[in-house]
Amino acid sequence: MRPRSLVPVFCGVLMSLQLGLGPGVAAAEEIALNPNRPEVYTVRPGDSLWDISGRFLRDPWDWKKVWRANPGVGNPNLIYPGDKLRLSMEGGRPRIHRDGGGERVVKLSPRVRVEELDAPVPAIPIGAIAPFLSQPYVADRDSIDQAPYVVSFQDEHITAGLGDRVYVRGIYDQTLTNFAIVRPGQAYVDPDTNETLGFEAAFVANARVVRHGDPAILKVTQSGTEVLTADRLVPAAAEEVLSNFYPVGAPAGLKGRIISVLNGVTEIGQYNIVVLNLGARDGVKEGHVFEAFRGGVERTDQVRAGRNDWDWRSETPLSTDFWYGSFRQDGWIENKPSPSAPLPLHARVEPPNSAYVTPYEEAGTLMVFRVFDRVSFALVMRATRAMHVLDTVAAPRP
């Protein structure tokens, strides 16, 4: 019989089978430990794999390299609240394992409902991304143009909500009965190549066909916001949604940019959702971890440009700065505008060498949870400073 527990349910973290170090696994010196790591940590309700591993390791996604499953426990690859995890060194290599073993003994109260204890817990806070796991959010131009669309509403309404009926044109496949209604939005554009990577398709509602035809009649079964004329329809996803993730560092050398942030925030922090200009065609997969960096911006050196030495008394039409600002005259150009001009000399003015590029500095860590062909969605797991659109992301450093 599987172990059972009092509610509220204490859920554990699902580990992959046989996660101990073996041939081909990185050596100890390649696994950075958290300098403030505990010797023993007791798992608490609400913990996630990311939280727990971050207490021991600098890079939480390195958990698989150091976890040792305990064969003396009922299921050696599950951990539960109340388990004590210990960090030790074996042969110069760090290991994390349960402190103790044996079967759990759970005392049940006859007045308390019991539920299964062995349900795995997501490795990351699923609540932050749940609305974005199954709903379509990115589409290409052709898909939007060719998709069925809302043409009007029952009883001459101008919008529709939960339980209302909408009239839709363009549903030709009568085997399809369940749809998601989406609203085309901004284009996702690669800031480096200017390529259009796709279009935001924000979730509006779910609807079910009541009667096929042209137009077809659909009933709104779930509503996120009011349905409007010209909203588009896509078939509802039939496959099971991925609800658990096992973080792993993105492939070495992979770099990209944050091109958008969902939910309208301007400064990006922990648990915000960002859009990357990397997708399946770039080798990105669910669970890939990236580091985010701020920097690489060209700025003006105020000192070298001389702007800190401005003298208001010399600001006259007889001065070069009056006409050229921060630009500097460095010679004369002859024969312009024409050789016959009475005064053919014209000043050659160029900007001073006063630009510099800000250095890159780490701003946080994010993990991809949904991948499209040319873009992907990522959850900010950790933020050391505010991030912004156009910041750089790269595979974690070794």
- The DSSP-derived string for 70-115 is -TTSSSTTEE-TT-EEEEEEETTEEEEEESS-S----PPPTTS-EE
What is the per-residue pLDDT for 343? 47
Helix (H, G, I), strand (E, B) or coil at 259: strand
In a domain, 327, yes or no: yes
Clarify whether residues 342 and 319 are in a common domain: yes
Q: Within this chain, do residues 113 and 202 fall inside the same structural domain, yes or no? A: no
Query: Is residue 141 domain-shared with residue 227, that is, in the same domain?
Result: yes
pLDDT of the residue at 267:
83
- Rounded CA-CA distance 367/382 in Å is 10
Domain final residue pick, 121, 145, 160: 121
Out of 121, 153, 176, pick the residue that ends a domain: 121
Do 137 and 80 share a structural domain?
A: no
The confidence score (pLDDT) of residue 349 equals 56
pTM: 0.67
Exposed, middle or buried by CB within 10 Å (0-12, 13-18, 19+), for 381?
Answer: buried
Measuring CA to CA, how many Å separate 77 from each of 1, 47, 116, 118? 17, 16, 16, 11
Please state whether 238 falls in left (phi above 0), alpha (psi between -120 and 50) or beta: alpha
Based on the fold, state whether residues 293 and 306 are members of the same structural domain: no
In the chain, how many domains are there?
4
Q: Tell me the CATH number at 253.
A: 2.40.30.10
In a shared domain, residues 368 and 278: yes
Same domain, 386 and 253: yes
Is residue 196, in this structure, part of any structural domain at all? yes
Q: How far apart are CA 315 and CA 322, in angstroms?
A: 6
Residues 177 and 203 in one domain: yes
Domain annotation covers residue 288:
yes
Tell me what pLDDT residue 81 has. Answer: 75
Same domain for 283 and 184, yes or no, is no
Per-residue pLDDT of the chain (398 residues; tens, 9 = 90+): 333 333 332 233 333 322 333 333 344 446 888 888 888 888 877 777 777 888 888 887 777 777 765 554 445 556 677 778 888 887 778 888 777 654 444 444 444 443 344 444 456 666 677 777 777 789 888 888 899 999 999 998 999 999 999 999 999 999 999 999 999 988 999 999 999 999 999 899 999 999 999 999 999 999 989 999 999 999 987 555 555 677 889 999 999 999 999 876 778 998 899 999 999 999 999 989 999 999 877 787 777 666 555 555 555 555 555 555 555 555 555 555 555 554 445 556 555 567 778 888 899 999 999 999 999 999 999 899 889 999 999 999 87
Euclidean distance between CA atoms 145 and 33, whole angstroms: 52
Which residues form the domain of 172?
A: 131-235
Where do the H-state alpha helices sit in the chain?
Answer: 49-56, 63-66, 141-146, 320-324
Residue 101 forms part of a structural domain: yes
Round to whole Å and give the CA distance between 300 and 279.
Answer: 34
Interior angle at CA 110, CA 105 and CA 115, nearest 5: 60
Same domain, 321 and 339: yes
Residues 377 and 260 in one domain: yes
How far is 302 from 296, CA to CA, in rounded Å? 18
CA dihedral for 209, 213, 216, 219, sign (positive or negative) = negative
Q: 116 and 93, same structural domain?
A: yes
| Nearest-angstrom CA–CA distance, 86 and 47 | 16
Q: Which residues contact 8 (CB under 8 A, 6 or more apart)?
A: 45
- Residue 147: the pLDDT is 94
Residue 148 is assigned to a structural domain of this protein:
yes
